[in-house]
Amino acid sequence: MKEIFVSIGADADSVAGWLGSYGGQDSPHDISRGVYASEVGIPRLLSLFKRKGIKVTWFLPGHTVESFPEETMMIYEHEHEIGAHGYSHENPVSMTPEQEEAVLVRSIELIRDLTGKKPVGNTAPWWEMSSVTVELLLKHGFKYDRSMADNDFQPFYARVNRRWTKIDYSKPAKEWMKPIYLGDLVDLVEYSANWMLDDLPPMMFNKHACNSYGFTNPRDIEQIWRDEFDWMYRNYDYAVFPLTIHPDVSGRPEVALMLERFIDYINTFPGVRWATYEEVTEDFRRRKPFQKALEEYKARQQRIAEYQKKLSK
């Protein structure tokens, strides 16, 4: 019997995206595109989700919550889950640990003030995680994150202390020919951050990015999404399909029509359930308790260590 969850992460980057990541902080036009995302894109997507009877997870930068309180209140009133997504879409890799924690704490406060409870989920801006991101999420009570890509359709527990050796051509080759250390498992559920299932890269023009295009036919992207879904559905009895959208992209008419077609397509498959990431996380933890996953992972680490020891002889 199929048990397939489809979870939409709606990242309302809005103006924050242009401040922190897209390079539009000095462009009145780009800032106005961020305004469009909240004032036009959010209500359009909320209307679509209501018509289709589905709940999604909105990842809101603190800047969006404070700058567009009416639109973010609409999200809450429609009973969608709300997760954290930085304040001004800052790149965690570029911040000090103190800055990153200050941003996280402020984001938690704003979401708690909006919804009455602390968020349990997070998406790192640009899907970039610093060396302390997971530690901070655990410290502040988060249950899941959607920023890593170790798997595509299966939830997994996050790993910390992952280490790898970069190539340095100024040194002897033996100094960089070393295997990766895959890291240590921690009790934070992760979901795939999959650029192929993200509406923004191919369908939002960004004049500041050398590889930006932004004029892709949404029907081409729809076919990619269908192919990914079809393969997943054929090969898994249990899976999570992680779709990422943005109101400044999927709020555009041609993309909104594509998203509606894609929702209708998915609904033709038996055993498919639309769910927020919080709901899927609770289900996954019942299926795969952390202690069981930790025991299995430690056994795998031991097998890898024995193999590497054998090779070194």
Q: Which of 245, 278, 277, 281 minimizes the C-alpha distance to 263? A: 245
Task: Give the torsion sign (CA, 280, 255, 253, 33).
Answer: positive
213 — pLDDT class (breaks 50, 70, 90): confident
CA dist 64 and 74 (Å) reads: 13
> Is residue 212's pLDDT more than 80?
no
Phi/psi at 148 (5° precision): -105, 170
Phi/psi at 95 (5° precision): -100, 160
Residues 242-274 have pLDDT tens digits of 999 999 999 999 999 999 999 999 999 999 999
Q: What is the C-alpha radius of gyration for the chain, rounded to an integer number of angstroms?
A: 20
* Domain extent listing, the chain: 3-312
171 — pLDDT class (breaks 50, 70, 90): very high
Share of the chain above pLDDT 90, in %: 93
> Is residue 194's pLDDT more than 70?
yes
The whole-angstrom distance between residue 144's C-alpha and the CA centroid of its chain comes to: 10
21 — pLDDT class (breaks 50, 70, 90): confident
> Is residue 214's pLDDT more than 90?
no
The label of the residue with tokens 């589905």 reads 54
> Is residue 209's pLDDT more than 80?
no
117 — pLDDT class (breaks 50, 70, 90): very high
Residues 221-249 have pLDDT tens digits of 999 999 999 999 999 999 999 999 999 99
Quote the tokens at residue 64. Answer: 């969006």
Tell me the pLDDT of the chain averaged across its residues.
96
pTM higher than the cut 0.75: yes
208 — pLDDT class (breaks 50, 70, 90): confident
- Residues 3-312, CATH architecture: Alpha-Beta Barrel (3.20)
Residue predicted with more confidence, 206 or 94 = 94
